[in-house]
């Protein structure tokens, strides 16, 4: 089952691909009331502490859509996500046009650590000093940063306000990058009812919007809601990448070794329980 993201919201956690159970939607005036400092801290902490019902694996396709001209052929990949004692972990593998492994990465995000390791063409993995900002493949915008979303756990995160977005009450936060790289700041939005990340806008050091991530749709697999699709927009060129989940397996128990950087030189084996969406 696949739906456009209209009246319901998707909760993007870990590699941000899991969704909380849906509750009865509300649309009262007090839903747009500003949060107190205590309430804002709790809303952010609850989002950061969200957990899936087990680990998961997703097959994805990424299509580049330039502002002018034809869309590019889809780039295929696979993603694994899990929660461990080290934090929220993810592994991603991207294929080239011949179906061979072109890039693999693993990431960890939590209170104690926030890192991305990248391997290209089966080489030994190296720690990304820019949090995985490089595109996953030639011709794409989407990067490991867009999947890892490190800003949700940046130390300097400030509640801004609560307002209506796409017809729903949403809490807006500014996450300030204390590292000397891009982006300088990310403004991200959490749906008030579902505690769900629904949008993130990256800014450069001059305060200019450079990139927007938007959650577009969700799907249901084995009674669990997961991300169905999202998009990344370059605010300067107006080119965009669209990510779509094509198959999913949920409720898994993944081995911790899957997320170790030294394993990235060889492709991992997908689960046999993947289901088409």
DSSP states of 93-123: EEE-TTS-EEEEEEEEESSS-EEEEEEETTP
Q: Is residue 26 part of a domain?
A: no
Q: Is residue 24 part of a domain?
A: no
- pLDDT confidence of residue 200: 96
- pLDDT confidence of residue 52: 74
Query: Which of 45-54, 118-127, 186-195 shows the lowest per-residue confidence on average (mean pLDDT)?
Result: 45-54
Q: Is pLDDT of 96 > 90?
A: no
Kindly report, residue by residue over 236-268, the tens digit of the pLDDT.
999 999 999 999 999 999 999 999 999 999 999
242 neighbors 227 (Cβ within 8 angstroms): no
59: its two tokens:
């097959």
Q: Is residue 190 part of a domain?
A: yes
* Of 22-26, 130-134, 153-157, highest mean pLDDT: 153-157
Query: What mean pLDDT is predicted for residues 214-232?
Result: 87
Query: What mean pLDDT is predicted for residues 219-224?
Result: 85
Q: Is residue 266 part of a domain?
A: yes
Selected residue with higher pLDDT from 179 and 157: 157
- pLDDT confidence of residue 173: 98
Selected residue with higher pLDDT from 78 and 49: 78
Query: Which among 201, 225, 199, 202 has a CA at the least distance from the CA of 214?
Result: 199
- pLDDT confidence of residue 131: 65
Q: Is residue 75 part of a domain?
A: yes
The length of the chain is 277
Residues 6+ apart with CB under 8 A from 117: 105, 106, 107, 125, 126, 127, 128, 261, 264
Chain centre distance of CA 27: 27
Q: How many domains does the chain have?
A: 1
Average pLDDT, the chain: 86
C-alpha to C-alpha distance for 270 and 58, rounded to whole angstroms: 9
Q: Which residue has the tokens 């779509």?
A: 244
Q: Is 265 exposed, middle or buried (0-12, 13-18, 19+ CB in 10 A)?
A: middle
- pLDDT confidence of residue 113: 73
260: its two tokens:
């170790």
- CATH number of the structural domain spanning residue 258: 2.50.20.10
Query: Which of 108-112, 187-191, 196-200 shows the lowest per-residue confidence on average (mean pLDDT)?
Result: 108-112
Selected residue with higher pLDDT from 219 and 71: 71
- pLDDT confidence of residue 42: 95
31 neighbors 192 (Cβ within 8 angstroms): yes
Query: Which of 24-28, 40-44, 224-228 shows the lowest per-residue confidence on average (mean pLDDT)?
Result: 24-28
Which helix H or strand E contains 32, and what residues bound it? none
Q: Which residue has the tokens 């509750």?
A: 23
Q: Is pLDDT of 29 > 70?
A: no
C-alpha to C-alpha distance for 274 and 89, rounded to whole angstroms: 20
Q: Is residue 227 part of a domain?
A: yes
Q: Is residue 137 part of a domain?
A: yes
How many Cβ atoms sit within 10 Å of the Cβ of residue 251?
14
Q: Is residue 65 part of a domain?
A: yes
C-alpha to C-alpha distance for 269 and 266, rounded to whole angstroms: 10
88: its two tokens:
């929220």
User: In percent, how much of the chain has pLDDT > 90?
Assistant: 60
CA separation, residue 7 to residues 4, 174, 216, 261 (Å): 9, 24, 11, 39
Query: Which among 180, 245, 186 has a CA at the least distance from the CA of 213?
Result: 186
- pLDDT confidence of residue 1: 52
C-alpha to C-alpha distance for 32 and 155, rounded to whole angstroms: 26
Query: What mean pLDDT is predicted for residues 10-17?
Result: 37
Selected residue with higher pLDDT from 159 and 87: 159
Domain range enclosing 84: 2-19+32-276
Query: What mean pLDDT is predicted for residues 29-37?
Result: 87
């Amino acid at each position: 089952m696949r739906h456009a993201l209209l009246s319901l919201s998707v909760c993007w956690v870990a590699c941000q691909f899991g969704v909380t159970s849906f509750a009865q939607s509300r649309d009262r005036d007090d839903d747009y009331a500003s949060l107190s400092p205590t309430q804002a801290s709790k809303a952010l902490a609850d989002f950061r502490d969200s957990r899936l019902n087990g680990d998961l694996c997703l097959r994805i396709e990424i299509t580049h859509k330039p502002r002018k001209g034809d869309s590019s052929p889809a780039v295929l990949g696979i993603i694994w996500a899990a929660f461990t004692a080290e934090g929220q972990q993810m592994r991603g593998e991207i294929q080239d046009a011949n179906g061979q492994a072109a890039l693999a990465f693993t990431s960890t995000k939590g209170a104690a650590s926030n890192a991305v390791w990248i391997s290209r063409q089966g080489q030994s993995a190296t720690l990304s000093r820019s949090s995985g900002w490089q595109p996953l493949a030639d011709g794409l915008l989407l990067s490991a940063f867009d999947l890892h979303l490190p800003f949700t756990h940046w130390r300097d995160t400030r509640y801004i306000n609560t307002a209506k977005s796409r017809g729903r009450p949403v809490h807006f936060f500014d996450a300030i990058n204390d590292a000397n790289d891009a982006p300088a700041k990310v403004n991200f939005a959490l749906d008030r009812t579902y505690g769900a990340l629904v949008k993130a806008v990256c800014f450069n050091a001059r305060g200019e919007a450079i990139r927007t991530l938007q959650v577009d749709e969700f799907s249901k697999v084995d009674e669990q809601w997961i991300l169905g699709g999202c998009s990344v927009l370059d605010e300067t060129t107006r080119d965009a990448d669209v990510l779509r989940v094509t198959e999913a397996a949920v409720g898994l128990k993944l081995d911790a070794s899957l997320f170790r950087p030294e394993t990235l030189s060889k492709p991992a084996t997908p689960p046999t329980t993947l289901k088409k969406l």
